[in-house]
A and B are shown apart, each in its own frame.
Chain A
């Protein structure tokens, strides 16, 4: 544990020296925050129509009837709450993973390219400890960034959306999404990226893999949420949480097995 902490402190200290690495994640977070406001607030405002006037809100109405936290809201506020709730997964999914992906992608290959990996591997540091430090070091900034984005999101909803919509977002479901599912998903994605970083010769390869890890599941989820009316209810989130935990454990074991100190030292030039 002490060795994980030592490497983690080192990695975070290095990240503090390179704040530019988080610009893509900040832009992604900003876009993910803006996107639901465009749908729920900006377009209706400029179109001069209310969302509740539209006939295409059956899903929202269904949600309005089933979700306890928004039962007290008027129809317009309920639809806004529905949109802000559904797009929260996009914000969490994209920002958490993007925040750490470039860090994770550079984690092992970056040490190799800087010629710092060999002295590191010559210490008593175990493979599991090295990978754990690298994954946590990549995940922490992403989780912190997502938390900050969520706070901004809530504040903007409080300012620009219908009154009390922000309260409807402060549910156990939302908090679980931000503070449990998001970090677990990030850990899984970043573990895969660190794994890739220990198997490729170029961090860009690991980043490309990371992009696939992010874009496909989040895209599928958004389509499912808006086209098929999938709502991330508490049981679904619980199931996803369990699946992600198991997935993380399996990937960690696989990553340790796949991490070949010899190959990294001897093959990579």
Chain B
């Protein structure tokens, strides 16, 4: 549905995005992660046809995107970083204007549906300036989706929202996937990415890593276990190493270890511990947070 191929953007001598490629099918949620200035917003703008790549191409449903491809912009919904509502107009008029600009047929019906869908029907005749930040973001999302675009680009969709509004926004993003839309999210919110994204691309001008959150964890940290014992764990260090445990961290009654991709090692290690007389209280997969993954990727990447 959305393909970026060797996407590069320079601003004079500065390279903002360097040789970025990915292919997104319908129904995938793809997250762009990266520090400030990593090129996330520039990438979204190129995907939306707002700015042209210095090199490379974007295809939407097989058609080449360009600044002049106005009809293709109608196939994309772009939630910009700021809600960008016309403050003096009512919520209804904001949405109606966009319905008309997007060439929606039965625009009144589309606006009414959007108002109901996003739970803002009771505020339809309030001016946008009177809304809270969370409500403005909801109206902006309604505007982004008013023309039912198959591709949705979301720049920091939950930035500055309270937990409840952020939760509602995430629920909406998940609904977009069930509607088979392709969604690209640019965000700093790693928890959000973990909850909604099918794949993650870590950017720092160029693509550092791309994959599912689980694959990135496994790639960087391997599979780790935490084993809790009834007795102090230090006495079983050699037993665990002999059974295949690597990179041991022992603290009191717990041992944390890496399996280095050896899935069969878990029962072997547990068996060895039991045979050595240890009382095993629990064996828990030790998953690094996405934040740990992200920080390791970004810190290891030369600037």
Contacts and interface: CB of A to CB of B under 8 A. Distances in A.
B84 to A, nearest CB: 4
Q: How many of chain A's residues touch chain B, expressed as a range?
A: 20 to 34
A261 B67 contact: yes
Interface stretch (A38-46, A77-85, A86-94, A116-124): A116-124
Interface in A125-184: 125-126
A243 interface: no
Contact of A14 (B71, B86, B101, B143): B86
B199 interface: no
Interface string B85-110: 11111000100011011110000000
A79 to B, nearest CB: 48
Contacts of B74: 123-124
Give the dominant DSSP class at A's interface.
helix
Given A118-B50, A265-B51, A123 B102 contact: yes
Contacts, number: 86
B70 A122 contact: no
Contacts of B89: 10, 13-14, 17
Given A14-B86, A266-B51, A3 B73 contact: no
Given A118-B50, A119-B143, A265-B51, A125 B86 contact: no
A265 B50 contact: yes
30 contacts: A2-B103, A7-B97, A9-B97, A10-B86, A10-B93, A13-B93, A14-B89, A17-B89, A114-B84, A114-B87, A115-B80, A115-B82, A116-B85, A116-B86, A117-B84, A118-B50, A118-B78, A119-B144, A121-B50, A122-B78, A122-B80, A123-B102, A124-B70, A124-B74, A124-B101, A124-B103, A125-B70, A126-B70, A262-B51, A266-B51
Given A17-B88, A114-B86, A122-B80, 5 more contacts: A2-B103, A18-B88, A114-B84, A116-B85, A125-B101
Interface of A: 2-3, 5-7, 9-10, 13-14, 17-18, 114-126, 261-262, 265-266
Interface of B: 11, 45, 48-52, 67, 70-71, 73-74, 76, 78, 80, 82-89, 93, 97-98, 100-103, 140, 143-144
7 tightest CB-CB pairs across the interface, nearest first? A6-B100, A115-B82, A122-B78, A17-B88, A119-B84, A124-B70, A124-B74
